[in-house]
Chain A
Amino acid sequence: MKKISFSLSMLFLGLNVNGQSNAVTRDTTRRLEEVTVNAAVKRRIENELKMAVSVDEFVASASNISFIKRGAYAWEPLLNNMSSERSTITIDGMHVFGACTDKMDPITSYVESNNLSSIAIKSGQEGNLHGATVAGSIDLKRRNTSFGLQKKIGGAYQTGFEFNNKQTFNLGNLYYSSDKFVADGSIAFRKAGNYYDGNDNEVRHSQYNKFNASLGLAYKTSPLSAVRVDAIFDRAKDVGFPALPMDLWLSRAIITSAAYKQLFEEGLVKVWDTKVYFNAVEHYMDDTTRPENLVHMDMPGWSTTYGLLSKINLQKDRYSSEIQVNAYDNLSIAEMRMYPQDRSKQTMFAYSWPWVTTRFASVAMNNTLDLSDISRVVFGGSLGLNYNYSKYVEFNWIFHPGSPQKKNRVLPSLHASYQLNIGSFDFSIGTGFGHRAPSVSEAYGYYIYNSFDRYDYIGNPDLKNEVSYEANASAGFKTGRLSIGAKANYFFIQDYIIGRILSLGSPMNYQSVGVKGYTSLHHATLFNLALDARYQILPGLDWKAVLTYARGQDNMGGNLPFIRPLSYQTSLHYRYKMIGVQTSINGDFSQVNYSPEYGEDQTASYKIWNASADYNFKIRKLTAVFQVGAENIFNEYYSTYADWGNIPRMGRNIFTSLKINF
């Protein structure tokens, strides 16, 4: 159980991460078991309660991640209570940008749990390796099998059924490993109907249908070098978004990369890893399923990214370092076509992303220096250049006459932390500073309808960089049976970008009530606190609890939107031989600090009880796990602070799954 459980201490600061990477590097130098050296410790894509989770459900089990939910599918991850444009979300360091202006396709929706091996979450400026950030980074790490495994061919098959929304899923993955050649493949199907809320009412338009496949091929070019090509294909079709006035007809993504890796046995440089990548995302909305809509609209979006990243790991005595160069070019296009009621008349057309190119290049360096056996400093920095070009800048000129078509930005970042480990206690204290550029929507968006506050949003190309100053600290105590930890961070964000009501213009989308423009607040502050404890009551019986608190305020002391209320999770795990039983309770307290100004209303508290049991068994040479469980056993009717349009969450859900490893 320990192996699959989430190590909370890792999540907040990711400090252990650097410590571990050295060991991994040394291992691979000798044998090159893996093609990529992953800095983070692997965690299997399962959460404590459920072994067959979606990527969303898995990411959600990290204590500094929360989600904006617009339905049952494609949740938008919030890191440190900040929306996704403030964090860098990457797949193996590759930047992929969603093609939906309404953020209905976060990157996490284009992967599947069986083509990932782990997810590395870093908080704040420590996450600057892949690009400029404020909140931190979420890197989805793909599965890749080592060379020369004893078992040449292996894999897993997982299937299951969830009763509430009649979800069926079939996930399979297969590998082949020889001394010279490795192949990894995975395929996944998920199909779900509408779910039912706690009052047993059907939540219409909450169905989804997803197909995902991936393939990776690696070839050892010498004892110390290898090439690898990877591709992920993802297709979601007929996905309902109950909180929005339209659904998804089709989204497709192809995510590809080719990598070369060289290890060095001698010298300061241990690993050199280079990758070129390409990905294309297309996303088509459909409102023909909503006859109540006054206007028929088409909203297709495309996002194409080319990129490069190159990284070296250095190590000498007590010092280790990673240096990474990133570059990418992204073109984001989103169209909006409205049909008049008399279809014979001319349609109305505009770009919501007027062919916006973003080019970004950065150099980042993160260093770890062991000062002594008990203390260590981690420090680093990055310097990024961000270039934007709006092809049809005349759209932006309507609200911002004379704004430039091209914009260059310099994005510096620095961070440092000190860690101390005395006996059973460990402490850390850190600070960071960094800039981020506005996102495509924030800078160049044009009448992007936000169904949460029901405003049309207009980007501003002249927005200043958002500048973050952060401080973080943690303290922990650990013995054989007990561990207690506390993590806190504080962000002071200058020129915080948020939408404010404009006195100009009038709405374009018929559901909206007005126009908001992205503007910079003088500053905003955010504070996050997480407390966690574990205790081994008996051998095999573990208790765990997490409490998180967050507070976000603007410069006038008003509340920021989407800040998670005081929330808790407590769970109990019991394992006896081949049987495991787990139960958990989680919930949020009532949302005290909500923000009516940004379209929020007060969300009531809720409490969810979940339980599951699993059984491990063997069929000849195969190992298998069968699990059955239930979520929201009390069938509570609730919605969370981040549920778009207060759509109710799923009521009681019984789930079953079977996993066979071969």
Chain B
Amino acid sequence: MRDLYIKSAAFYILIICLFLTSCTKEKTDYEAERGNTVEENPEFKEVSSSVSSGYNIRIEALGGVLYRGYNDIRVKINKQQTNEPVEVSSVGFRPIQTDAQGVKISCPHQSVLDYTLDGRYFSGYSVFMNTSSEATTCSLEINFKIGDQTFSAIQNVSVKPQTNKNLNMTTFTGKDNEQYIIALISPRKPNVSENKLVAGIYKLDVAQLSYSAVKGYVLQLDPRMPEPSMGNHSSPNNKDLVQQAGGSYQGVVNYTMTGNWTLNFILVNQNGRVIAGTEVPKDFTPGVEGRKSELYIDILF
């Protein structure tokens, strides 16, 4: 009797297994869906290194590549002979882009790098406005102090186009006739969820030919899906970007699904004046491509 029960149960389980394994359509691999081409936490690798006055200066970036837009940068300084770290009291950093006319502009950057004890490196960032080409070249100027002595070095580097649209950037002239750059810093790999949106906003000092972070501005945000079939779809609970202690601007963007999104911006200065950007229609208009603000960045994930 027992045997029969067990036999029928086994038969039964077999049937179940057959059906279980034969799901007609496979479920979506969600991890792959949200962009497995983008590495979430790539490692810092060497971009270039040079020798100056007996010191080895090594510049690192994520994945070993500098891209147009925002880049985290690390600098390591070692003795050339022993490759041992040395006591560096400070590191100054300046990225310079030279255009076809020979005009040199310093890109938005952190001029004094921070020291991180455990990794024995100095860190900062740079926002490259253009990719390297025959017309545009880019070099990094590094000054470092060991004891009382100051050393400097220049390294030419190559800037590649950014393939991850979530780290896109835009340059524009504001209503105050100033030159601005907005560069996305994070998220590298957004989710269908609330995402902390971090961006850098920089203004050109024409006299110095140098960009610096603007203070006390607000970057108003209206994210929408531009695809005609999405009918100007937007998301709730977004927060405008305001400046943080570190200088970067932070807000919240909600992506309701994967795909193409446009971040429509309005940039407002510390006095509440609109510097750039326009309101976009809020209506749901299926079949019509969403109108973009004059100031926007497209992303995709």
Contacts and interface: CB of A to CB of B under 8 A. Distances in A.
A575 interface: no
Interface string A268-285: 000000000010101010
A631 B120 CA distance: 86
Nearest to B254: A398
Nearest to A222: B1
B8 interface: yes
Best-buried of B20, B23, B227, B236 by chain A (most CB within 10 Å):
B236
B258 A350 contact: yes
Contact of A302 (B27, B257, B286): B27
A284 B229 CA distance: 21
Given A280-B20, A335-B28, A398 B234 contact: no
A189 interface: no
B19 A506 contact: no
Interface stretch (B67-75, B76-84, B190-198, B266-274): B190-198
A217 B19 CA distance: 19
Interface string B234-254: 111100000000000000001
Given A348-B259, A398-B194, A504-B237, A252 B227 contact: no
B257 A348 contact: yes
B42 to A, nearest CB: 22
Interface string A11-26: 0000000000000000
Contact of B12 (A258, A294, A395, A510): A258
29 contacts: A219-B1, A219-B8, A227-B8, A278-B16, A295-B229, A295-B230, A300-B25, A338-B230, A338-B257, A338-B259, A340-B227, A340-B259, A345-B260, A346-B259, A348-B259, A349-B33, A349-B192, A349-B258, A349-B259, A350-B256, A351-B30, A392-B30, A394-B191, A398-B193, A399-B237, A447-B256, A502-B236, A504-B236, A507-B231
B105 interface: no
A256 B15 contact: yes
A337 B194 CA distance: 20
Contacts of A335: 27-28
B282 interface: yes
Nearest to A342: B227
A484 interface: no
Nearest to A392: B30
A397 interface: yes
Interface in A339-375: 340-341, 345-351
Contact of B257 (A254, A284, A336, A513): A336
Contacts of A505: 234-236, 256
B24 interface: yes
B230 A348 contact: yes
B259 A347 contact: yes
Interface string B260-301: 100000000000000000000010101100000000000010
Interface string B1-45: 100110011001001100110011101101001000000000000
Interface of A: 217, 219, 221, 227, 229, 231, 250, 252, 254, 256, 258, 278, 280, 282, 284, 294-295, 300, 302, 333, 335-338, 340-341, 345-351, 392, 394-395, 397-399, 401, 447, 502, 504-508, 510-514
A401 B194 contact: yes
Contacts of A340: 227, 229, 259-260
A213 to B, nearest CB: 12
B168 to A, nearest CB: 15
B28 A229 contact: no
Contacts of A284: 24-25
Given A350-B256, A394-B192, A231 B12 contact: yes
B61 interface: no
Nearest to A346: B259
Interface residues of B, number: 44
B177 to A, nearest CB: 35
Contact of A231 (B15, B232, B257): B15
A341 B258 contact: no
Given A397-B194, A398-B236, A513-B284, A282 B24 contact: yes
A447 B24 CA distance: 24
Interface of B is mostly: loop
Best-buried of A395, A502, A514 by chain B (most CB within 10 Å):
A395
Contact of A333 (B1, B27, B225): B27
A229 B259 contact: no
Contacts of B234: 505-506
A489 to B, nearest CB: 39
B233 interface: yes
Contacts of B28: 335, 337, 349
B233 A507 contact: yes
Contacts of B33: 349
B63 interface: no
Nearest to A251: B24
B228 interface: yes
A394 B252 CA distance: 13
A391 B236 CA distance: 21
Contacts of B236: 398-399, 502, 504-505
Contacts of B16: 254, 256, 278
Nearest to B1: A221
Given A284-B24, A398-B254, A341 B229 contact: yes
B32 to A, nearest CB: 10
Contact of B229 (A254, A258, A294, A397): A294
A295 B25 CA distance: 20
A447 B233 CA distance: 12
Nearest to B28: A335
A535 B215 CA distance: 88
Contacts of B20: 280
Contact of B286 (A336, A346, A447, A510): A510
